[in-house]
Chain A
Amino acid sequence: MLLTLAWGLPLFGALLLALLPRRSESGARILASIFAVLSLALLVWAWLGFDSGGPLFQHVLDLPWVPSIGVGYRVGVDGIALAVATMSALVFLASIAYPVDTKDEPRQYYAWMLFLMATSLAVFLVLDLLLFYVFFDLSLVGMYFLIGRWGHGKPQLSALTFFLFTFAGSLAMLLAIIGLYLSLDSPSFDMRLIIEQQPLAGGGLYAGLVFLGLMLGLAIKTPLVPLHTWLPQAHVDAPGPASAILAGVLLKMGTYGMVRLPLAMLPDTFQRYALVVGIIALVAILYGALVALGQRNLKRRIAYTSINHMGYTVLGIAVAASVSDNLMAKQLALTGATVEMVAHGLITGALFLICGSFWQRTGEYDLDHYGGLAQRAPLLAGLTVLAAFASLGMPGLAGFVAEFQIFAGTFAVYPWLAILAVLGILITAGLFLDLLRRLFFGRLPAHLGQFTELNWVEATVLGALGLGIVIIGVYPRFLLEVIDSASALLIGGR
């Protein structure tokens, strides 16, 4: 019930906003924020009631919906889902509370935001394969309208590319899901049942095709090179908060899906192709970092670092799926991959919100347009430095906790992949330091004389995200305990 309310309340809020008469900009934002806070509070409550020593899935609710084809309303979380969902709710809250230009349509904007929040949280909370697909697709619809209607540049083209690309992936995934579904003796979409029965254990062509379909859909969403081409444009043209959600939450659906579907349901097949997936992840890590280094556009640069960071996550998942007997290393890698999802959500969410603030003030993303802002906007500079350092993996901040575990795990299983992937961190460090230099240091250009400091809402939101980043960096135990409970069961359960 707790989890149902957690995604149902935002949906109710979206309907309320859509149906109620016109309200003011701040009125709509406050109403939407209240629903987001409630949803986050419910997830925190679920977290407090989560027993790390208990069964894999907890807070389970199972109601029949279309029993004749084995579809049910099934929700429940393991440690991984709980961590990612709670992080998502936090990023949504931050994005909703963050001031943005709603082009005189605050009601519609916040209704779509809440709709997107509901569908995205549901992706992480459901335990029914078909519902997973349903919400996976519905989140596309929400993001499509947010980019298309409130974006800038060529928003409609970007929104269309985004929708078509990811929908192509979801269709491949749908076919694979049907294949998985038909392989059960009594077809059902219950994820717990599929994980328990392992219908395609032993591999073979059929299992290989199902695996390919699933991975294709999830890799487009993640996105992995070379399926990433929709991402930079969608990010650049989306409004800042929508970008934060796109990077912070929607990309996680890809990697979360990899853990939930192929890793848990097709471990044998994943094992066979783990090295291939690992190499693709390495390519994404290096390529993402190198291309990001070459960008002059602030938002595009951060968008490409997302590809790099999601590469670390996939690398961790591939290690967890690998053939190695070193269970400790595999568990470490999977935990690290999940922490990376949480950390990247918070960090990149904050970075994209910062991009939004730059856009609101100047309407410009070109890095050469800026300089010397550290004096005019010290708070903005401080928070950006915090987020950038976290993103490049500075110890004591969230990114380090994640990347350390991924690399430790990878080193034990695929040492040379780990060695090459570390180069990614080096490049990332370079590109973020360069970014900070060009934004905040040097001479202040004359046209930035009117540049204003963060207002209190922006500062509070970014401060809260920054606090989360520091807490995870300094005291990660509360997070690791919950995630470890799931990854131990997933890895040890072989």
Chain B
Amino acid sequence: MPIGDLLPEIVLLLGAVVIVLFAAFTPQRLQRWSAALALAALALAAWFSVLQWDTPSRLTFSGVWALDGVAIAAKLLILFSGAVVVALSPDWMRSDRRHAEYYALCLFSLLGMIMMASANDAMELVLGVLLSSAASYPLAAYHRGFPPALEAAMKYFLIGALANALLVIGVVILFGLVGDTDYAVAADVFQAGTDPIALSVAVACIVLGLTYKLGAAPAHAWMPDVAQGAPAPIAAFLTVAPKIGAAVALARLVTLLPQDLAWPAIIALISVATMTLGNLAALKQTDLRRLLGWSSVSQSGYMLMAIVVVGSGVAALPALLAFLAAYALANLLAFAVVTHLRGRTDFAHYHGMARRQPLTTAALIIALLSLVGIPPLVGFFGKFLLFEVTIEAGYAWLAAVAAVNTLVSLYYYLRVIALTMFKAPPGEVHVLGGWSRVALLVTLALLIAASLGFQWLIEGLSHISLASY
């Protein structure tokens, strides 16, 4: 077995195990050091992923595990998101008496997301989705005494249980049609022709299952609640990282399908519904974290635009990954600001923040403007590439819908910006601590670097593709 191909994942797994053991035998005051262990595991895993970067794309482990540019780029992005979240956590979790296992759960969840991105086999995909879900539920509910967190986690769990069940049903039907769970075999069978109705049902179930992880309609309802109720670093985590894995998994799945299934139209429909719903719902929020939750729903809609055209011979995958990178940076930064400001979330508590915390507010404004896509921030380039590939592939109407949605989104992002800049400032503003400040500044610096050095980002991504069979 080519164990070396799985080094990043093995490192994550071992890191999680070590943290669980560490947590079991360590006094409470030392528990925060598991964050350092988790960061070390993430750094090591990222290092091993970087080493895989230049190898030609291929399938490994009897074809169930894809080792291609898309998977590795997604992996790095997921690991980066995980690192930001872990760095934000020690200060946030300070008051929790037992929080060492928290980091182990983060690593397990990350592992599941990486599996989603790399799975080239339906069973592998199910395993990834279930692992990341199972590890995320307790994370969302980590504040055991905080009713909104419990409610959010319960919602997250119920929708997740339903969506995962659908996913499994879809995979079972797929297995029935193909006789195998391997994507390569499935592609061959689809080429030869298969029962279109059964295939449609199977694909519909799998896509619905994945929309849950994407936070796309119709399984998006958990996103705003989790963004509002879960611990702030976990809100950052769950609004970003699962999407990356699920988007790549979806792209991998739809490229298998025969063209006569009209899947681009269905994905386009989900995309339009998601972005419109997310934006309209965000319009009347008066709670920043909830607003960010809805905004991440709408961002999932934009992201799906790239998947619509993934089979049209345009550079959809680089656009998808570039957009995901831009989104991840901006959303992590926004939640890092919320975390650093001790999770304050009511609009009223952000009045005049620019005068009390200029740098932190500047970071928030930059994050929001990047989410809108105001140039020259990286979010603009991400959106620009999406527009470009959709127009090039003949979906100009989709780009136009997205443009109108962008305009709508500007309204609510500007509302937040106006509050921080124009209102009279409140009294004293307390911030969290050193770790969160460093995580915030690093994310901000990376966002600015990615904006100015977008060339390197897109150049690195321009050659990525899915492993072929």
Contact = CB atoms under 8 A, between A and B. Distances in A.
B369 A68 contact: no
B458 A68 contact: yes
- Chain B contact surface mostly: helix
A175 B455 contact: no
B387 A174 contact: yes
Contacts, number: 76
B391 A179 contact: yes
B265 interface: no
A403 to B, nearest CB: 36
A228 interface: no
A426 interface: no
Nearest to A67: B455
- Which of A133, A145, A178, A181: most chain B CB closer than 10 A? A178
A65 B462 CA distance: 16
B421 A149 contact: yes
B411 A160 contact: yes
Interface in B413-464: 414, 418, 421-422, 454-455, 458-459, 462
A313 interface: no
Given A164-B410, A167-B410, A175-B399, A137 B374 contact: yes
A186 to B, nearest CB: 14
A148 B375 contact: no
Interface residues of A, number: 33
Interface string B371-396: 00011100011001101100110001
Interface string A130-159: 100110011001001100110000011001
Given A68-B459, A182-B392, A171 B407 contact: yes
Given A65-B455, A174-B403, A182-B392, A164 B411 contact: yes
A467 interface: no
B118 interface: no
A172 interface: yes
A148 B422 contact: yes
A66 interface: yes
Given A148-B422, A167-B407, A138 B374 contact: yes
Contact of B388 (A149, A172, A182): A182
Interface in B338-377: 369, 374-376
B375 A178 contact: no
A224 B235 CA distance: 45
Contacts of A201: none
B298 interface: no
- Which of A67, A155, A175: most chain B CB closer than 10 A? A175
Interface string A160-200: 10011001100110110011011000000000000000000
A377 interface: no
A172 B396 CA distance: 12
A148 B421 contact: yes
Interface string A58-95: 00000011111100000000000000000000000000
B421 A178 contact: no
B376 A134 contact: yes
B266 interface: no
Nearest to B462: A68
Nearest to B407: A168
Interface of B: 369, 374-376, 380-381, 384-385, 387-388, 391-392, 396, 399-400, 403-404, 406-407, 410-411, 414, 418, 421-422, 454-455, 458-459, 462
Closest A-B pairs by Cβ, 7 of them: A134-B375, A171-B403, A66-B455, A168-B407, A134-B376, A148-B422, A68-B458
16 contacts: A65-B455, A66-B455, A69-B385, A69-B458, A138-B375, A144-B414, A149-B422, A160-B411, A164-B407, A164-B411, A167-B410, A171-B403, A174-B387, A175-B387, A178-B388, A182-B391
